[in-house]
């Protein structure tokens, strides 16, 4: 099926674009009242993730309502540890919770490298539903968590401030850590390939906890696995978003990915210098700028577009949009990008 | 009173030292069973902070038990918002909690710039007790939170993952934000001067949430207030520890402080280049390295000392020591620094 709007993919590949494409991390979600209506009809976040027709519906909402240039499949990075053997629950106001964790060699028996179509078929089915309903209007982005971030949740069993237990394991059990990271990596490659087979036009890797590791540790336990995934996924453009990993830009430069997501700390000029001219940069407005008044938001968006320039840029925030942001502000951000003339 | 061990102060001033001084952030606390014994005898963390004799006792414990080159007064950065009008509670396993917060102009009526001897006399009294009991064995470090970090707690009322409400206020109410930051700054200057008058030989400013702001926002709402405090405190050496603020090193270079604390992401060479030769660097071993085996810990400590070099370095971790670390490992870290020959 031909895409009517392929700005995102052309920007990712470094081809000429009429204007900078724009989408937002977490655009499918609580910022939209249309999402909240569906969410209130169903018992729990996970039920929504696991019901392909509804997941597809909320995936498409921001395309209809906000006019973004891409849909990102509504899902969660934690479906991967679950498919590998560690079920999770989403506790209201607390976040994710795993009853079982990986702390020792003996815990490895809980883990497998699953067949993604068998264990994560609800995600690939949601992608197929989305593709069908979108009918080529915009590309669909698939995604997965980066191995280090998934490993952190598997070890900690929840979000924490310091992830000290997961970081401790890298020092006390490096062999076991690599074994688990290896299994996550294999699962992730198969999972992304299944998403692509189902129709994902691009995929993004989220390394949400990249910023907690010292540079040497991240090289050893973080970026090496991202490199392997990037090398294996050649079917569609890959985006690597390693939040907080300003110290790892040299490593990221070596990854075979088309696009690099930048958090709101990274200066475009610094990122461009470190990453070279063969990668597209994605980002990176401070998500809190969407709380500002319209004029300040428009000015900041213009400034961002000017600094990144007209080529090899995909406009986005530097992190997921915060759930209490006014949808009108998000729309203003999107429209400002779309109207901008370089 | 003459100090018998003034390595810390000489290192801070850039004078020659026989060896690198060493202490640890959070050295007075749960890592020591002697601390936990006292903590269990008293009802709550705050009671301990507010009882000068006991606060002094736990302040001195790491000097006796671990052999560190400095005592840091046992207290909390949140005593400042409390003294300004916002009482806090410390909830077990949850962290700090404020019943009242600053969200609007009307909330300003809750705040005052207090007389530190009247409102925070338990801290200055704890310093006097500590000085007396130490009898010149090692210097005593006083401290306070940086205005931006204190502001974050005042607005949020608790620790959060994104501090989005506090960051939002910088965009929506910049005038009010500056007004509050200004009051915190005035309070902090008076508070640090009171600590110095009570005997603190050095003071440290903790900007725990520096790393959450975009560079421009941090310049405007964070580092400018740190600069003012540094300019006002000339009696003793000042240390600025802005965690996660790698993007603000140029601003920190301009502060009139003697020492800069580095988190575990910053490479000593990069920090030295950005900060110049007139500042002492403090840090920055990964706190999780204390979970590693002895050989790895000793090697990493040696490597750190080698990279920082023999002058203008104070050995420490890149963050507070984690409470579940074995005290024997902390002692090994301290002894390794003390035995090292450059």
The answer as to whether B215 is a domain residue is yes
| Nearest residue to A16 (alpha-carbon basis) of A309, A262, A318 | A309
Q: Which of A26, A94, A159, A168 to mutate to test the interface with B (most CBs of B within 10 A)?
A: A168
DSSP B158: B
The whole-angstrom separation of Cα A75 and Cα A67 is 20
B227 falls within a domain: yes
Question: Quick one: tokens of B264?
Answer: 């575990």
The dihedrals phi and psi of B108, each to the nearest 5 degrees, come to -60, -30
- Catalytically annotated residue among B35, B88, B153, B225: B153
- In order of A46, A88, A97, A103, A163, the CA distances from A155 in angstroms are 21, 13, 11, 6, 9
pLDDT at B188: 98
Q: SS3 for B228?
A: helix
- Is A162 at the interface with chain B, CB within 8 A? yes
Burial B48-87 (b: 16+ CB within 10 A, else e): bbbbbebbbbbbbbbbebbebbbbbbbbbbbbbbbbbbbe
- Domain annotation covers residue B1: no
- In chain A, which residues have their Cβ closer than 8 Å to the Cβ of B265? 211, 214-215, 246-247
Nearest CA of chain A to the CA of B306: how many Å?
A: 17
Instruction: Indicate the burial class of A31 (C-beta count within 10 angstroms; 0-12, 13-18, 19 or more).
Output: buried
Query: Per the residue annotation, which of B6, B35, B69, B76 is the catalytic one?
Result: B76
Asked if A167 lies within 8 A of B265 by C-beta distance, the reply is no
Q: How far is CA B45 from CA A250, B39, B42, in A?
A: 44, 7, 8
Residue of chain A whose Cα is closest to the Cα of B215:
A265
CA distances from residue B91 to A189, B78, B156, B250 in whole angstroms, order as listed: 42, 13, 15, 37
Flag if B322 and A171 touch (Cβ within 8 Å): no
Catalytic residue among A6, A69, A88, A153: A153
Chain A contact set for B161 (CB, 8 A) = 159
Residues 14-33 of B with CB under 8 A from A: none
- Determine which one of A13, A19, A30, A128 is catalytic: A30
ipTM over 0.90? The verdict is yes
Residue B167: which of A247, A288, A324 has the nearest Cβ? Answer: A288
The yes-or-no answer on residue A76 being catalytic is yes
A320 has a chain B CB within 8 A of its CB:
no
pLDDT at A93: 81
In a domain, B2, yes or no: no
B307 in catalytic set:
no
Q: Domain for residue B318, yes or no?
A: yes
B153 is known as an active-site residue = yes
Average of per-residue pLDDT across A242-265: 97
Q: Which structure tokens are listed for B324?
A: 């579940």
Nearest CA distance, A333 vs chain B (angstrom):
16
| pLDDT at residue A1 is higher than 80 | no
CA angle A282, A151, B159 (to 5 degrees): 75
**Contact state of B167 with A215 under an 8 Å Cβ cutoff:** no
Model confidence pLDDT, tens digit, residues B219-234: 999 999 999 999 999 9
Residues of chain A found within 8 Å of residue B325, distances taken between Cβ atoms:
none
Question: Considering only CB atoms, which chain B residues are within 8 Å of A246?
Answer: 246-247, 265
pLDDT at residue B1 above 80?
Answer: no
Would you say residue B251 has pLDDT above 90? yes
Give the model confidence (pLDDT) of A169-192 as tens digits.
999 999 999 999 999 999 999 999
Copy the structure tokens of residue A112.
Answer: 């497998």
Instruction: Please answer yes or no on whether B215 and A289 come within 8 Å at the CB atom.
Output: no
φ and ψ of B27, to 5 deg: -65, -30
> How many angstroms separate the CA atoms of B336 and A134, rounded?
63
Is A36 noted as a catalytic residue in this protein? no
Asked whether the beta carbons of B57 and B28 are under 8 A apart, the reply is no
CB A151 within 8 A of CB A187: no
Mean pLDDT within B274-287: 97
Alpha carbon distance B158, B167 (integer Å): 14
Position B51 in a domain:
yes
B132 touches chain A (CB under 8 A): no
At A94 the pLDDT is: 85
Q: What is the value of pTM for the model shown?
A: 0.95
Domain range spanning residue A35? 7-339
Domain-embedded: residue B110 = yes
B148 vs A14: CA distance, rounded Å:
40
Strands A95-98 and A88-91 turn out to be antiparallel
Residues B65-95: tens digit of each pLDDT: 999 999 999 999 999 999 999 999 999 888 9
Band of the pLDDT at A92, cuts 50, 70, 90? confident
Is residue B97 helix, strand or coil?
strand
Cα-trace Rg, chain B: 19
Query: Is B291 within 8 Å of chain A by CB?
Result: yes
CA atoms lying within 13 Å on the CB side of residue A102: 31
What's the confidence (pLDDT) of residue B92?
82
**CB contact at 8 A, A143 and A206:** yes
Q: Is A6 a catalytic residue?
A: no
Domain count, chain A: 1
Whether chain A has a CB inside 8 Å of the CB on B231: the answer is no
| pLDDT confidence of residue B161 | 85
- Write the pLDDT tens digit of every residue in B151-174: 999 999 999 888 999 999 999 999
Tell me how many helices (H) and strands (E) chain A has: 16, 9
Which chain B residue's Cα is nearest to A215?
B265
The reply to whether A217 touches chain B by the CB within 8 Å rule is: yes
In whole angstroms, give the CA distance from residue B152 to residue B209: 8
Long-range contacts of B170-174, Cβ-Cβ distance < 8 Å, separation of 24 or more: B170/A288, B170/B213, B170/B217, B170/B220, B170/B221, B171/A288, B171/A289, B171/A291, B171/A292, B171/A296, B172/A291, B172/A292, B172/A293, B173/B104, B173/B105
Which distant-in-sequence residues (6+ apart) come within 8 Å of B93 by Cβ? Answer: none
Q: Is the pLDDT of residue A62 over 80?
A: yes
Least confident stretch, A223-227, B40-44, B274-278, B291-295: B40-44
Residue of chain A whose alpha carbon sits nearest to that of B318: A214
A217 and B168 in contact by Cβ < 8 A? Answer: no
CATH number at residue B54: 3.20.20.210
């Amino acid at each position: 099926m031909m895409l009517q709007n392929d700005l995102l993919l052309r920007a990712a590949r470094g081809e000429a674009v009429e204007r900078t494409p724009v989408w937002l991390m977490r655009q499918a979600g609580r910022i939209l009242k249309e999402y909240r209506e569906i969410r209130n009809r169903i018992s729990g976040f996970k039920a929504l993730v696991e019901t392909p027709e509804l997941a597809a519906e909320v995936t498409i909402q921001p395309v209809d309502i906000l006019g973004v240039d891409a849909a990102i499949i509504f899902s969660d990075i934690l479906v991967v540890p679950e498919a590998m053997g560690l079920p999770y629950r989403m506790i209201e106001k607390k976040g994710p919770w795993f009853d079982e964790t990986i702390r020792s060699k003996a815990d490895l028996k809980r883990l497998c490298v699953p067949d993604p179509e068998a264990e994560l078929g609800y995600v690939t089915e949601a992608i197929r539903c989305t593709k069908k309903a979108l009918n080529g209007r915009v590309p669909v982005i698939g995604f997965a968590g980066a191995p280090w971030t998934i490993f952190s949740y598997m070890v900690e069993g929840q979000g924490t401030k310091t992830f000290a237990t997961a970081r401790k394991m890298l020092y006390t059990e490096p062999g076991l850590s690599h074994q688990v990271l290896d299994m996550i990596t294999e699962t992730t490659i198969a999972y992304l390939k299944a998403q692509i087979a189902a129709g994902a036009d691009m995929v993004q890797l989220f390394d949400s906890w990249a910023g907690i590791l010292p540079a040497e540790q991240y090289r050893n336990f973080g970026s090496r696995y991202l490199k392997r995934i990037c090398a294996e996924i050649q079917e569609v453009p890959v985006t690597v978003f390693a939040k907080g990993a300003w110290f790892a830009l040299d490593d990221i430069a070596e990854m075979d990915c088309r696009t690099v997501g930048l958090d709101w700390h990274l200066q475009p000029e610094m990122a461009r210098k470190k990453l070279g001219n063969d990668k597209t940069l994605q980002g990176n407005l401070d998500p809190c700028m969407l709380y500002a008044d319209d004029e300040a938001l428009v000015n900041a968006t213009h400034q961002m577009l000017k600094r990144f320039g007209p080529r090899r840029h995909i406009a986005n925030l530097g992190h997921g949009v915060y759930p209490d942001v006014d949808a009108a502000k998000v729309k203003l951000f999107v429209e400002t990008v779309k109207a901008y003339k370089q």
